[in-house]
Structure 1
Amino acid sequence: MKFPTIVAALAAGIPSLLQAENRIDLVRPDAPALAAHGDYTVGVRTMTFTDPGRIDVVNATEDGAPLRYDRNITVEVWYPAAEGTQPGGTYQTVLRDGKTPVTLTGMAARDAAPAKGSFPLVLISHGYPGNRYLMSHLGENLASKGFVTVSADHPDSTYSDLGVFGSTLVNRPIDQAFLVDSMAALEDQIGAITDVERTGVVGYSMGGYGALIYGGAGLSQTAVSRTEPAAYAPPEELLRRHLSGSASHGDLVDPRVKAVVAIGPWGRNRDFWDAQGLAQFKKPLMLVAGSADDVSEYPAIREIFHETIGTRRHLLTFASANHNAAAPMPAPDNSWAVSQSLGWAPFEHYADAVWDTTRMNNILQHFTTAFLDLHLKGDSDKARYLSLVEAAEDGVWATSEDGVPAAAHSYWEGFSKRSAKGLRFETLEAE
């Protein structure tokens, strides 16, 4: 075999080798600029926080006093690691069926000593169902850029303990608030480097639902009434604590949260918010969605975009992508086989029919980095990555031979020539 043929054969085998490792830290050559890993080696630790006396939504009844229990929430915490840390490690988890074991490979070093400094906190909240590794690609990526990221296993909402939907409706924003408080209370090395006064929340699907409530968008009367078209509310009016205008919801909204990223947020499609409740959301907001989302429903996500009039907000749209747009990690290799317990291949829980998942991950990493750097770190230079021609294809590439942009240049900032395709980025100002 000639040398060029050997090289070609090796190159052809690279994707399959990477897939076999189930890597969550891939950055494609055509990724936008801010998707690249940052200057920090990444450390990771697993922690469990306990919220004593949480109301037991799962076992609530219409005529009984609320039961209470200790709610244990396991999290993965990624953080900038000390100089000299050797990168790389694996994660042991399960697929969407809640049973099949899978090993993921990333760049984080288990239990590494943290770097010196003070870093903003980013809370990452999965969908229903999900687990703390579903957006691990984003957790590692942001940690390499100087954030402490904490990703939760939300009880009653993971692959392994999927419970009644009402528990997620009530508990998701409460979990998010509890985890920020828990990170603030840490007295160890991780606590010493975490600045919770500069917190961002990234939520996917039901994580986005919780993030919007936690950020200030109280629920509608329809949502808490157990009547159509919502009809998901748990008994005892337990969801009423998130009602727009209520004192309990007002107490939940946290001034330490400076920015929210909601990816495919569920709820407006079932009238869980109305325009009045969404207008109470005041924090900088970036929405991310697929234009073919038929779970949270793209038209409903656009309603959130138009009705959150109390803040400057963005909407990043992946043309023709469905509900899996941007957030889930690449489908693990053994998710391609049909699961006996599910009756379908878990692959479809992670993947999109149109877009490559790593490509979407990289685009999300790029925009989330710009948005959080701007609002959590005060890096005003990142605003240029959020001031774009609305439709990516309308951008004009016009540079001199040495790469200096000409007056006509309007291509998306950070995207290489020909790479800004199939995307739309809209911005609305607060009214």
Structure 2
Amino acid sequence: MQKHLGLTARAMALGLMGTAAAAENRVDRQLPNAPELAAYGDHAVGMRTLEMTNPDQIDILAIDPAVDKPDEMPRYDRPLTVEMYYPAAEGAEGETTFKTFLRDGTTEVTLEGQAMRDVDPATGETFPLVLISHGYPGNRYLLSHLTENLASKGYVVASIDHTDSTYRTQAAFGSTLVNRSLDQLFVLEQMAQKSAEGAEFAGLYDAENTGLIGYSMGGYGAIITAGGGVTETSVGYTWGGPHGTLGIHQAGSDSHNELPDPRIKTAVAFGPWGMNRGFWDAEGLAGVQIPMLFIAGSQDDTSLYEKGVRAIWENTSNVDRALLTYMNAGHNAGAPMPAPQESYYFNEDKGFNISEHYTDAVWDTARMNNIAQHFVTAWLDNHLKGEAEKASYLDLVEDSNAGVWSQAEDGTDKEDHSYWRGFPEGTAKGLMYETRAAGE
């Protein structure tokens, strides 16, 4: 394994440079007050683009909801682009900049991180697989601060461009509602095939040991994939899946009862959408069958909090689950990368400043990213790698403000020390971490 402490130190220095770092559109910023597990791992990171096609899918966009249901649904071969991040071979060197489009769908920008384009993967070790699913709209790079961070710690990450749901392809919402979980499961199967004996990435990762991370509509899809079924009411929405096409995800349906795929062991959902619009109820959420970490802002005005993400967490009743809350943060809590410099302008067509898609009114984005990296690392290391010691980073007093820092001169914890593990003294502020066991 290649140690890249120099890269981490460089990222730290860039984080301290403030404006200069933003000008470079870096996605790998590590602030001086970042919690312990946010730091990049021992692996150099590679990235490469994969093109996939899911054949014979219902073409939601070709269905007119205003006319009678057709005898046969129109079908098409659904294209999906996936960005794969992976531990790179020792000594690998490559380009670390990449291009993407802003929320406006027209402005192309250059981002930079630590992942190197198209370098050889590491050998001699098999890693867990993680799928990442963006919001509506979004793209496969929206959570790039997390994708390459996880890859540096020994994960292979497949981040999906969801057709009809990216900045460049955004189309009728019904396609996202119907296809989001289907895309996640299809990419899992494709990645499994690519890791089989004799295949391109044989031995690199174990698709039988997979985690799923979703943001907003990606979180909605993750709940379905984890076994949560949508309501009968939501299947009938005229603005949703046309002619009942969402019924494949309805709680109790034969198709939905086949979930979850046993290869997916856990899921993380940032600001999952749907409770606020009647897509979930206690019965449907009771179908979730894998442990889940929910991450939310207490002032989320998109998915809502008390009647949104928190209600989802409360009603996912048959599994162990946790809720990390950024107090006073909005819908962007933890998930989006830092706003590219070019996004700081008011777009007349959209009616808002494009940077608002990435930023928060209260929290610094890099700070939110570092906290998310810390908690997601602890969660996945515990559930996918079986590192039981990482569970101690998740055994916390609920209110971070209530933690007591009490250490002896030699740095050992005193009996009354209750400060959040991994957070430097004075930095665990404005957060809540709550847990519920299955059956609660």
Give the alignment's TM-score, normalised by structure 2: 0.93
Matching residue of 2:181: 173
Q: Structure 1, residues 278-298: CA drift from partner, whole Å, max 9, x if none? A: 111120100000000010000
Contact 1:45 1:76 in 2 (8 A): yes
1:200 aligns with 2:211: yes
1:238 aligns with 2:249: no
Q: Distance in 2 between matches of 1:109 and 1:278?
A: 39
Matching residue of 2:4: none
Shift of 1:192: 3.2
| Paired residue type of 2:31 | R
**Alpha carbons of structure 1 residues 184 and 298: separation in structure 2 relative to 1, 3 Å:** same
1:142 is matched with which residue: 142, 150, 158?
150
Identity %, equivalent residues: 53
Q: Distance in 2 between matches of 1:340 and 1:108?
A: 34
Contact 1:120 1:196 in 2 (8 A): yes
How big is the alpha-carbon RMSD for the aligned residues of Structure 1 and Structure 2? 1.5
Matching residue of 2:434: 426
**Alpha carbons of structure 1 residues 243 and 418: separation in structure 2 relative to 1, 3 Å:** same
Matching residue of 2:275: 268
* DSSP 3-state at the match of 1:385: helix
Aligned ranges 1:216-227 → 2 under 5 Å: 216-226=227-237
Moved more, 60-69 or 239-248: 60-69
Matching residue of 2:6: none
**Alpha carbons of structure 1 residues 102 and 323: separation in structure 2 relative to 1, 3 Å:** same
Matching residue of 2:9: none
* DSSP 3-state at the match of 1:47: strand
Contact 1:329 1:350 in 2 (8 A): yes
Gaps of 5+ in 2: 1-12
* DSSP 3-state at the match of 2:61: coil
Moved more, 318-327 or 243-252: 243-252
**Alpha carbons of structure 1 residues 398 and 233: separation in structure 2 relative to 1, 3 Å:** same
May I ask how many residue pairs the two structures share in their alignment? 418
Shift of 1:252: 3.9
1:15 is matched with which residue: 9, 13, 18?
18
Q: Distance in 2 between matches of 1:11 and 1:261?
A: 29
Contact 1:219 1:273 in 2 (8 A): yes
**Alpha carbons of structure 1 residues 343 and 277: separation in structure 2 relative to 1, 3 Å:** closer
* DSSP 3-state at the match of 1:269: helix
Gaps of 5+ in 1: 1-9
Shift of 1:87: 6.2
Shift of 1:27: 1.0
Shift of 1:342: 2.3
Contact 1:183 1:194 in 2 (8 A): no
Q: Distance in 2 between matches of 1:360 and 1:153?
A: 23
**Alpha carbons of structure 1 residues 383 and 88: separation in structure 2 relative to 1, 3 Å:** farther
Matching residue of 1:259: 266
Aligned ranges 1:310-349 → 2 under 5 Å: 310-349=318-357
Shift of 1:20: 1.1
Matching residue of 1:29: 32
Moved more, 342-351 or 139-148: 342-351
Shift of 1:236: 2.2
**Alpha carbons of structure 1 residues 148 and 319: separation in structure 2 relative to 1, 3 Å:** same
Contact 2:405 2:425 in 1 (8 A): yes
Matching residue of 1:63: 69
Shift of 1:58: 1.0
* DSSP 3-state at the match of 1:44: strand
Q: Structure 1, residues 121-167: CA drift from partner, whole Å, max 9, x if none? A: 10000000000000011000000000000111101100011100000
* DSSP 3-state at the match of 1:182: helix
Runs of 4+ in 1 over 6 A off after TM superposition: 10-13
Contact 1:88 1:106 in 2 (8 A): no
Contact 1:313 1:427 in 2 (8 A): yes
1:161 aligns with 2:172: no
Give the alignment's TM-score, normalised by structure 1: 0.95
Aligned ranges 1:44-63 → 2 under 5 Å: 44-61=47-64, 62-63=68-69
| Paired residue type of 2:166 | T
**Alpha carbons of structure 1 residues 205 and 13: separation in structure 2 relative to 1, 3 Å:** closer
1:115 aligns with 2:122: yes
Matching residue of 1:126: 134
Shift of 1:301: 1.1
| Paired residue type of 2:228 | A
Q: Distance in 2 between matches of 1:296 and 1:422?
A: 20
**Alpha carbons of structure 1 residues 12 and 216: separation in structure 2 relative to 1, 3 Å:** closer
Contact 2:15 2:31 in 1 (8 A): no
Q: Distance in 1 between matches of 2:233 and 2:16?
A: 54
Aligned ranges 1:266-305 → 2 under 5 Å: 266-299=273-306, 300-305=308-313
Contact 2:14 2:21 in 1 (8 A): no
1:306 aligns with 2:314: yes
Contact 1:183 1:191 in 2 (8 A): no
Contact 1:41 1:86 in 2 (8 A): no
Contact 1:59 1:67 in 2 (8 A): yes
* DSSP 3-state at the match of 1:192: coil
1:106 aligns with 2:109: no
* DSSP 3-state at the match of 2:178: helix
Shift of 1:107: 0.2
Q: Distance in 1 between matches of 2:398 and 2:16?
A: 38
* DSSP 3-state at the match of 1:210: helix
**Alpha carbons of structure 1 residues 11 and 270: separation in structure 2 relative to 1, 3 Å:** closer
Q: Distance in 1 between matches of 2:95 and 2:331?
A: 30
| Paired residue type of 1:152 | I
* DSSP 3-state at the match of 2:160: strand
Contact 2:296 2:324 in 1 (8 A): yes
* DSSP 3-state at the match of 2:171: coil
Aligned ranges 1:88-103 → 2 under 5 Å: 89-103=96-110
